[in-house]
Amino acid sequence: MRLEVKDIKKSFGENEVLHGVSFDIESGKALGLLGRNGAGKTTTIRILMDVFHSDSGEIFLDGKKFERKNYQIGYLPEERGLYPKKTVIEQMVYLARLRGISKTEAIVNSRKWLTRLEVNEYEKKKLETLSKGNQQKVQLASTLVCNPDIIILDEPFSGLDPVNSQILQQVVRELISENKIVIFSSHQMSYVEEFCEDIAIINKGEVVLFGDLDKIKREYGEKQLVLSAVNYDLDELKTKCISELNDVLEITGKTKDTLIIKIRDHVTRNALLTAILTKNIEVEHFETYKPSLNDIFIAKVGEE
Amino acid sequence: MKKFLVVLQYELKNYFKNKSYMISTIFLIVLVGIGMFLPRFFDMSGILGTPQKNESAQNVNESDNATSGQDSKESKNMIIYDKTGALKDMSLLNSIFKDVKWQIATNEDEVKNSVKEDKSEAGFVVNSLTDYDYYIFDKSMSDSNTYSFNAALTTISQINYCTTNGLNYAEVATAFNPTISSNEQVLGKDMSQNFWYCYILVIVIFMSIIVYGIMIATSVTQEKSNRTIELLITSTNSNSLLFGKVIAGAIASLGQVGAILCVAVFSYRINQAAWGNKLDMILAIPNNVLITFGIFGIGGFLFYAFIYGAMGALVSKTEDINKSAGGVQMVIMIVYFVVLAQLSNINGIVIKVASFLPFSSYSAMFARVAMGTVAPWEIIVSFLILIASIVLVGMFGAKIYRMGTLRYGNPIKLSNAIKFLKHSK
């Protein structure tokens, strides 16, 4: 299956919040939908879920117009919500039946997912008596109870301890391997890097970066290097580079221990290294810059 | 439809698993049921004012002494100061004021003080046969002492006139007050018989709408405040959710009120003779009135329940429900008071108009059927208007519900919600 979102626009009153959002994703892959708070991620997801109607633009599945009601979608909203006074199994079965699953199947599926997420012992407990992490797992089990073809997870790891995070990571990997379409929205970039082959970064209602994450990283790191010196601290090194090496490099940022530099167009790596050494800089690190998703994200949407 | 049934089943289960709902329903059914059978097993003549089972007519006649002894216990004290001397013979007063022990005062102050000190229930100072002062401490609404005293003075004046003019008072009295027998045939409705059960049923439907309406609104708002709503509306359509909730509320309400009412009415019918027909004015409700009450009651309930559901979606906290539902409550209250006030003028234009308006026909049309004369076409037209209005309000309510569900924060004004719906078209 291939889900394509094409040029979605949406306004609330006079305020246009999505200015033509486009991205696509295939089965067996996870898409990281990223953006700052208020960028338009949740609105995009809600349009996918048919909670809102877009003003223009279309969604296609395998080239045909996407009809939400014809597909099972497992949606874990960012704002978690279940009935606190109801038992776990009762509300899971109810939600499954609302999605068109028979009662018997709903009970079987509920137990399967509660067991898989290691919360089956709370089946008959009221939700409000569970810890936040276990409530989160019940919420995820409710998302998956209908055997969805498309899974949308909005901040699925929030509130989980490292052990529970590991269980969830394994579940997400299984879903991807089962050829599901997974849309994954999170501010925890390490998880996105781990699961998502593709990313779409939304900023102020526009997709500012979309594509294969590895390719994006390669392109972003192209002609960039990290540099540190034994005989200068980072601030001294930065001052020296700006004053004495400006014709061969440009400083684009810094990490905890190194400067990130970009080689000027006409300069080779060897020429740059020679220039650095001639300035009496004792090189500690001089290697290709491999940007993290976090770096890319901040570079794309960090500045106003 | 299938998902609507899932919502309906879930919501109904919520009502039936609610302990307070079940306990109050069962308790009231048992209480009413037992109460209706009591006269079969216990002597309730003291409460009902009916002759005791073992008290035959013979007994009544044979024990004058015992009766007078009992009367003396219940007699009241009254005081009189007669300036005219016309009331020296107290037999006339005693015959009119049967349970009264009269004390003769010697001056006006004695009368006032006796009443003030609660030694006498009331006092009279007779200035002439056409003028007297009446003293009472706390006057009750049903005080008829002056009417009785007027009758006494009028009779004395008539006797005096007959004596002065050589007439036989007994003959004159018979001639002026012939015994008239009447045979009443009510061809339409007898309002004196129907008034009280009609009054009670208007209150019952009013309370049901208010209580269950608020429960429906609260249920919607709670789903919004605990954020379940986002999962629900992404799992099924909002029409199924709202209609499921409202119909479940209607069934729960009908189940509770209907069960209690049916137990009361039908167990009274079984025990009507034992009750000596004393509760006819409340519980001898004809089937056609019960059916009209049921049909129009459910219609009115649904009409308002959809509005309550939509109002619940306009707020994010349960404590804000009164802000959004206040206007609806006001309309229901106005309808309630207007219908009650018009029960004594059941064929008036106000209740006729109210019986066709969808927000008031649920009680006005039922009241007209119970107490007045209504043509079948009027009932049909009113019911069709009500049905059409329920459908429109249901559709409108579902749109408001859909629009309001994901809007958190301050309560949304209904006018803003309508503007938004127009804009979104």
Residue B253's CB is within 10 A of a number of other CB atoms, namely 24
Residues of B in contact with A81 (CB under 8 A): 223, 226-231
Chain A nearest-CA residue for B3: A98
A97, B6: Cβ pair inside 8 Å?
Answer: yes
Q: Which amino acid makes up residue A260?
A: I
Query: Span A50-68, mean pLDDT?
Result: 89
Instruction: List phi, psi (to 5°) of A286.
Output: -150, 95
Q: Does A100 touch chain B (CB under 8 A)?
A: yes
For chain A, the C-alpha Rg in angstroms (whole number) is: 24
Name B205's Cβ contacts closer than 8 Å, sequence gap at least 6: B293, B297, B300, B301, B362, B363, B366
Matching residue, tokens 């008290």: B55
Residues of chain A contacting B6 with CB distance shorter than 8 Å = 94, 97-98
Q: What is the pLDDT of residue A253?
A: 85
Residue written as token pair 């006649």:
B61
Which of B230, B235, B420 faces A98 most closely, judged by CB atoms?
B235
Band of pLDDT at residue B74, cut at 50, 70 and 90:
low
Q: Taking residues A251-270, report their average pLDDT.
A: 89
Mean residue pLDDT across chain B: 85
Question: Which tops the pLDDT comparison, B288 or B172?
Answer: B172
Nearest to A82 among B228, B233, B406 (CB): B228
Could you tell me which residue, B387 or A192, shows the higher pLDDT?
B387
pLDDT at residue A198 tops 70? yes
CA A290 to chain centre: 19
List of chain A residues whose C-beta atoms are within 8 Å of the C-beta of residue B420: 13
Is the ipTM value over 0.85, yes or no?
no
A82 contact B CB<8A: yes
A216-253 residues labelled b (16+ CB within 10 A) or e (exposed): bbeebbebbbbbbbeebebeebbebbeeebeebbbbeb
CB nearest to A77's CB, from B3, B7, B231: B231
Query: Is some CB atom of chain A closer than 8 A to the CB atom of B3?
Result: yes
Please give the domain boundaries of chain B with CATH numbers for all domains. 12-40+189-424 (no CATH), 75-175 (3.40.190.10)
If contacts are CB pairs under 8 Å, which of residues 216-235 in chain B contact chain A? 223, 226-235
CA distances (Å), B308 to each of A30, B249, B271, B324, in order? 42, 11, 40, 9
Angle at B215 between CA B211 and CA B218, to 5 degrees: 140
Is B321 within 8 Å of B218 (Cβ atoms)? yes
DSSP H or E run through A34: strand A29-35
Residue A71, chain B, CB below 8 Å: the answer is no
- Nearest chain B CA: its distance from A265 CA (Å): 51
Residues of chain A with Cβ-Cβ distance to B227 below 8 Å are 77, 79-81
- Alpha-carbon distance of B207 to B213, in angstroms, equals 10
A80-91 pLDDT, tens digit per residue, is 888 998 999 999
Is the predicted pLDDT of residue B53 greater than 80, yes or no? Answer: no
- Please tell me which residue of chain A has the smallest CA distance to B13: A90
Q: CA–CA separation, A30 vs A293, rounded Å?
A: 15
Residue B372 distance to chain A (closest CA, Å)? 48
Q: Is the pLDDT of residue A154 over 70?
A: yes
Q: Do A99 and B232 touch (CB under 8 A)?
A: no
Residue B49 binned pLDDT confidence (cut-offs 50, 70, 90): low
Q: Is B7 an interface residue toward A (CB < 8 Å)?
A: yes
Q: Can you tell me the mean pLDDT for A260-273?
A: 90
* A271: closest CA of chain B, how far (Å): 59
